[in-house]
Structure 1
Amino acid sequence: MKVLVTGASGYLGGRLCHALLEQGHSVRALVRHTSDLSVLPSSSTDGNFELAYGDVTDYRSLLDAFSGCLVIFHTAALVEPWLPDPSKFFSVNVGGLKNVLQAAREKKTIQKIIYTSSFFALGPTDGYIADETQVHPEKVFCSEYERSKVIADKIALQSAADGLPIVVVYPGVIYGPGKLSTGNIVGQLLIERFQGRLPGYIGNGNDKYSFSHVDDVVEGHIAAMNKGRPGERYLLTGENASFMHVFNIAAIITETKKPRFNIPLWVIEAYSWLSVVFCRLTGKLPLISPPTVNVLRHQWAYSCEKARVDLDYNPRSLQEGLKEVLPWLKGLGVIKY
């Protein structure tokens, strides 16, 4: 069938476009005129792939892009821990979703919308493992990104209750080969680690995240299109572990030394504020900012059992995933071991 992917030039969106084409679907990729298209197939060599220029914040461009499509994958999002202008999170992540949903209502031909939310929309899980029944308490937000995804999640679920055929998926911390963007934070931190700019563990190892290999998440999205029930929520997460565990696995795989000390969070926080100052001077967004440290103070562990049962989702282990990622990073020349 003909499907449209918003955020197609992004880390997840690009991999999704390739996978959809491999399964025989006709894919239209929504991209901006300024987008980096290097991760996308060539529309000149694949007749089932085409570009649609537009923006999720431009409603008219969505109406044009949606024409003839039966399924919408809405993966577009502004994924940054911090921005000088936080209003951009809400114009893209909230306003963009509203535009997508309204365009789908107006077209009346859309059979299913797969909306890519975030584990942040469910909130932290300090000391336990959560599932899709968790509702964000909305008392404290680690970042404006988190706040925007919580608001967007409510909008998506209300629209589903109103009858729009929406399936909401919640990836964990996505990692794997592909675009080295902010969305690929594991790849970025491994580069920092192996290039010597991150000489120790981050914090004391009490952090916990649910790590999702990008290709598993892509398969989960396609399964949500084929098997997901409108109105349902599915966690596309994976192994729950700390970044200390990630670094230890990386050391074992590469036969290099593990970090010998822990960097306290107060040190990382001080560095994060310096990074913000540097950003305001240079315009280059920081890898670690104060919201990043806020996130590190919590745990974000989730169960993907519902997706396993309903979608046949079968995420790989961190060991298996990192055995692929580390040689890939080495092949790019961004790490040595």
Structure 2
Amino acid sequence: MEKKVVLVTGASGYLGGRLCRALFNSGHHVKAFVRRTSDVSSLTPPTDGGSNGGTLELVYGDVTDYQSLLQACSGCHVIFHAAALVEHWLPDPSRFFPVNVGGLKNVLQAYKEAGTIEKIVYTSSFFALGPTDGYVADETQIHPGKFFCTEYEKSKAIADKVALDAASEGLPIVLVYPGVIYGPGKVTTANTVANIMIERFNGRLPGYTGQANDRCSFSHVDDVVDGHIAAMDKGKPGERYLLTGQNASLKEVLDIAAMITQTKKPSFGIPIFILEVYGWISVLLSKINGKSPLISPPMVRVIKHQWSYSCDKAKAELDYHPRSLKEGLSEVLPWLKNLGLIKY
């Protein structure tokens, strides 16, 4: 395999950190693009050479600061654009667009100016395709744009159009769409499943949330990382690949967790109107204590819809092999237990 100089934006994030480590372990020279205020504890320590020839270099800047991004692109062959503001609610929703849309536009401009970049792998989101109420969607789905559950969803749908327009102009961009990412790593807002398990096993989530037919596509973080690297090696420019996994309801997720831990399953469902009230209260408390709410009105709107997708194309073209929820949660739950975040 040819060793490349790769830039990873969002390198200090939940997905970005694990992507940097995998690229480093594959022997590439990794430029980890981080802000000076970022927590870089999840990144492999900067080094001048691993046993496999991989190197990791911290490069400081921000995707909203074009000059710092352009400088970071110097000498790079591949950009993994994984930087995004991932929250279901923010007190100032306008913050999503400079990062999620403006950041992508800056990456595309930097590609044109840098002159050495052979491929861009852009991390989108299943949200960019829109809900799938009553069916399973594939890469042909375009977000209808008639309504958005969250401002994050809206920003990713707009960015998706920017990326597709760039592809139509001939830019070598490959679009990948993870599902709900879960697995070991940083317990950030983006690690939704870990947060749900923490609430469940600490007694703060006594019942099922959502509706009987709600479904999401769950992707283990390491499968998504493998999919990104395969998109660099095998992905066709201009193509979209769903890096999703098992489609399941939140009830099924909690039932699998109960089976793995040999604990009692939740015995009742929490009605949507209760979640809506709790969401509004959580947002009000968030404005006081500054902590991100676990549930918010936009998150409740997400729960009211289905988000089921097929990853058959990625399986066929990228050799993508997502693990089952049972397999993934069998790793996540002991990990959370060892951290002291849950007990069972």
TM category (shorter chain) comes to over 0.9
Q: CA RMSD in A?
A: 0.8
Q: Which amino acid aligns with 1:26?
A: H
Report Cα offsets for 1:232-284 as digits up to 9, x if no partner. 00000000000100000000000000001110111011011011111111221
2:133 to 126, 129, 136: 126
Question: Match of 2:312?
Answer: 305
Q: Which amino acid aligns with 1:306?
A: K
Report Cα offsets for 1:67-116 as digits up to 9, x if no partner. 01100000000000010111110010001110111011111210000000
Where in structure 2 are the equivalents of 1:13-28 lying within 5 Å? 13-28=16-31
2:247 to 207, 219, 240: 240
Report Cα offsets for 1:133-176 as digits up to 9, x if no partner. 00111111001000000000000010011111000000000000
Q: Which amino acid aligns with 2:129?
A: L
1:315 to 293, 304, 322: 322
Question: Match of 1:207?
Answer: 214
Q: Which amino acid aligns with 2:28?
A: H
Aligned length: 337
Question: Match of 1:181?
Answer: 188
CA contact (8 A) 2:207 2:268 kept: yes
**Distance (whole Å) between structure 2 residues aligned to residue 10 and residue 266 of structure 1:** 33
Where in structure 2 are the equivalents of 1:82-101 lying within 5 Å? 82-101=89-108
Any idea what SS the aligned residue of 1:201 has? coil
Any stretches of 5+ residues in structure 2 without a counterpart? none
2:12 to 9, 30, 47: 9
1:169 and 2:172 matched:
no
**Distance (whole Å) between structure 2 residues aligned to residue 319 and residue 46 of structure 1:** 37
**Distance (whole Å) between structure 2 residues aligned to residue 265 and residue 101 of structure 1:** 41
Q: Which amino acid aligns with 2:20?
A: C
Where in structure 2 are the equivalents of 1:73-112 lying within 5 Å? 73-112=80-119
Q: TM-score, normalised by structure 2?
A: 0.97
Q: Which runs of 4+ in 1 moved over 4 A?
A: 44-47
Any idea what SS the aligned residue of 2:101 has? helix
Q: Which amino acid aligns with 1:40?
A: L
Q: TM-score, normalised by structure 1?
A: 0.99
1:144 and 2:151 matched:
yes
Any idea what SS the aligned residue of 1:181 has? coil
Any idea what SS the aligned residue of 1:202 has? coil
**Distance (whole Å) between structure 1 residues aligned to residue 72 and residue 293 of structure 2:** 33
Any stretches of 5+ residues in structure 1 without a counterpart? none
**Distance (whole Å) between structure 2 residues aligned to residue 157 and residue 21 of structure 1:** 29
**Distance (whole Å) between structure 2 residues aligned to residue 304 and residue 66 of structure 1:** 31
**Distance (whole Å) between structure 2 residues aligned to residue 69 and residue 108 of structure 1:** 9
Q: Which amino acid aligns with 1:29?
A: A
Where in structure 2 are the equivalents of 1:219-230 lying within 5 Å? 219-230=226-237
1:69 and 2:76 matched:
yes
Report Cα offsets for 1:182-211 as digits up to 9, x if no partner. 110000000000000001000332210000
Q: Which amino acid aligns with 2:80?
A: F
The sequence identity of aligned pairs, in percent, is 69
**Distance (whole Å) between structure 2 residues aligned to residue 314 and residue 36 of structure 1:** 30
